[in-house]
Amino acid sequence: MRNNKHKKKKLRIMLILLVILIILILIFLFGHRKEKIKHEGRPAGTEQVAGRIAEIKMKPVTLFFLSESDGLLHAEERQIPESDLNGEARAVVEELIKGPQTGLMAVIPENTRLRQLFVTADGLAYVDLSRQVTEANFYGSSGEMAVVYSIVDSLTYNFKSIKKVSLLVEGNERETLGGHVDLSNPFVPDYSLIAR
Amino acid sequence: MECLRTRVRFPPPPPFFYKVELIDKIMSRFIKIFATIAISLILVSAQGFPLKGAQAAAKTIPVIKVTVEDSSQASVVRISGSSNLAYNLKKSSDSLIITFRALSGLKLEKSTFTSQIIKSIDLAKSPEAYLLIIKTGSPDFSFTTSARKNPFELTLNIKLKNVAAAREGQPAETVAKTSPSRNGESSSGASSPPADRVSQEVISGHPRQKDVKTIVIDPGHGGIETGAKGNYGTLEKDVTLAVAKKLKERIEGELKYRVVMTRDSDVVVALDRRAAVANNNKADVFISIHANGSRRTNARGSETYFLSLNATDEEARRLAYFENNSGELENRLGEQDFDDLKLILWDMAQSAYIKQSSLLAEFVQNQLNQFLSTQNRGIKQAPFKVLTGVACPAILVEVAFITNPEEEKKLQSEDFQTQVAEAIYRGLSGYFDLYEKP
C-alpha cells in the first residue's frame, strides 16, 4: 500500500516535471528556429541571380522628360535589360541622363554621370550623381524642379518598391543643386509636374 | 545546451532507493534528471532577462520644482530638485535652456505664475538629456545664477536689458513714425541681433515695436552663387538684389513697416542663415526674390511659391532620429545632441505657417498679374530650402525667366524692376490689411 502510494506520488511529480520540461524545450527550440531562418535568408537570393544569366530579357520602362511646349514632364517608353532592382534603377537614371529619343528635352545637365545607385530595404533609393549636375545656367526654381522630379518620378513610377529618392552629389549630401530645392530630405514623388 | 548537460552532476542515489523495485528506481532517477535539467533551464532562461524592472523601481524619478517670482525689475526663477542634478545652462536667443543629462527620467512640477519677463517654462526631452526651456519675451535679457548642492537648487535672476526702453517706446510710437532722425538713434540699440548670430543683415526704418511689422526681404543667391544665367549674361543674383533694394525703398517710403534685408551687397549668404535673419528679427513676413530659369528658352511668366511639406515624412524622420539615438544614451556627453534637437525643431518652423504663406502668395501673385506684362504661372508649392526654417509666413517670388531672352531684357530694365517692387509691395499691404482690419 505504502509503496503503491509512493509510486503514484512519484508518477504525478514526474508528469508535472515532464510537462514543464517539454514546454521549456519547445520554447528553446522555437527561439533557435527563428534565428536559423534569418541566416538561411541569404543564399536564396544568390540562386535567383544565378538563374538570370542564361537569358537577357528586356523590360519596358517609362521615363519622364521635359516638354518644350508646356514645361511639364512627359512620358517616354524605353526598353532596358531585366536585372535586379538596383541594376534596373541604375539603367533608368542612365537613360534619363542620355536624354530623350522623341521630341522631348533632356533635363539633367550634360556630362553628368551616375556614380552610384542603391535601394535600401525600406525603399529609399540613393542616387549619387557627379558634380556636373550642379553646373547649369538654367538652375532657376523651374529648372531645378525638373531635374529633381524627372529622376524622382521616373524611379518611383517604374519601381513599386522605391518609395523615396535621395539625391547625392559626388557621394555627399548637398543642400541644393543650385540654391532652391532642398536635397536634405528624401523626395516622395510629385506627379503634379507630369502632363496628363 | 550540450555543455549545460555535461555540467550537471548526479549524486549517488541514497540507499533508500535500492530497496524498491527496478522500475521505481529508474523512475526516481528520471525524476532527478528531469528536475536538474528543468532547474538549470529555468536558471538559464532567467539569466536572459536582466532585472530591468527591479533596477528601474529602485531608482526613483527625480523631480524638479520650479517657482517664479517677479520683482519690479527682474524675475527670479528657483529650480529645486529632490536629488543632486548635473546641469548645463545655455542662452539661446529669447530662451534660457538648462540641460540635465544622463537621467532615466525627470518630472517637472511648476506652480502657475504670472511674470512680465518669463513667458513659459517647459520640459522637453532629447534622446540624451532633458531640457528645461525658460522662454522670455525678448532676446535682450541678462541673467545671474546661483546654485546650491545637496539638495539641488538653482536660482536664476533674469533681467530685461531694455526694460526702460520698452516702456518709453510705446507712447513714443507716433513720433517714431514721422521723425526719421529719432528712428536712427533708437533702432541701433533696440534691434541689434543676438551676439551668437552675427550676420550682414541690414536693419533700417523703425525701432522694433509691437505694432510695427517687420518684413524680411531675401534677394536670392549672391557672391559666387550666381543663380541662373541669361543668354545675354544677366545674372540672377544681380536682378534679385536690384528688385529687393527697390522693394525696400518702396516699403520704407510709406513709413509703415520695418525692413530687414538678408543681404544688401553681392555676397554669399547661406540658406539657413537667411531664415535665421528672419527669425532673429521676429519677422512678420519673409519674401525671397528670385528670377526663374529653365532649360526651355521659351519658358516665360511669373509665379509665387510657398513651401510644400510632406508632413508624414517629416514625422517619420523625427521618429527615426529618436529611435536611432536612444541606444547609445547614457555615456555620450557633449553639445551635439542639443544642436541636433534644435535643428529638428528649426526644420519644422515653416510648417506652422503654411496656410498664411499660401494666402500671402495669393496676394502677391494677384498683384504681379496686374502690374506686370508677364504670363501668370500661378501659385505653386515646392520644397525650397530657404523657406523651411522661417518661422513666419514666407514666400518665394519667381519673377519672369532670365533664361528667356525676351524676359531677360525686361529683368534688366529699371522700369520693370520698379514695377515688380510695386506689385510685391501692394500684395504685401493687401495681406497686412486683411489682418489689421478689426
**ipTM for the complex?**
0.70
Whose grid coordinates read 516699403?
B251
Contacts by residues B351-356 (CB-CB < 8 Å, ≥ 24 positions apart): B351/B307, B351/B309, B351/B311, B351/B314, B352/B391, B353/B390, B353/B391, B353/B392, B353/B393, B353/B394, B354/B306, B354/B307, B354/B309, B356/B393
CA–CA min distance B390, chain A (Å): 14
Contact status of A195 with chain B (Cβ, < 8 Å): no
Its pTM stands at 0.57
Q: Say if residues B227 and A139 touch (Cβ distance below 8 Å).
A: yes
State residue B232's pLDDT score. Answer: 93
pLDDT digits (tens, 9 = 90+) for A99-114: 999 889 999 998 999 9
Give B201's contacts (C-beta < 8 A, 6+ positions apart): B193, B260, B261, B262, B277, B280, B281
Closest Cα partner for A190 from A160, A138, A155, A161?
A: A155
Please tell me the predicted confidence (pLDDT) of residue B161: 73
Q: Which of B173, B390, B362 minimizes the C-alpha distance to B284?
A: B390
Residue B132 per-residue DSSP state:
E
Tell whether A164 is within 8 A of chain B (Cβ): yes
Q: What is the pLDDT of residues B100-131, one digit of tens each?
A: 775 677 778 887 777 878 888 888 776 667 77
Contacts of A142 (CB under 8 A, 6+ apart): A71, B292, B293, B294, B299, B398, B401
- Return d(Cα B381, Cα B406) in angstroms, integer: 26
pLDDT at position B26 is 66
Cβ distance of B27 and A14 shorter than 8 Å: yes
Residue with cell 531694455: B162
Say whether the peptide bond before residue B151 is cis (omega within 30 degrees of 0): yes
pLDDT at B434 over 80: yes
State the nearest Cα–Cα gap between A68 and chain B, in angstroms.
6
Question: In whole angstroms, what is the distance from residue B39 CA to residue B354 CA?
Answer: 64
Instruction: Measure CA A182 to chain center.
Output: 21
Beta carbons of B293 and A11 less than 8 Å apart: no
Q: Taking CA atoms, what residue in B is nearest to A164?
A: B313
Q: What is the pLDDT of residues A34-82, one digit of tens each?
A: 444 444 444 444 444 555 555 788 999 999 999 988 889 999 999 999 9
Q: Is the pLDDT of residue A191 over 60?
A: yes
For the cut 60, the answer to whether the pLDDT of residue B56 exceeds it is: no
DSSP output for A136-165 = -TT-SHHHHHHHHHHHHHHHHHH-TT--EE
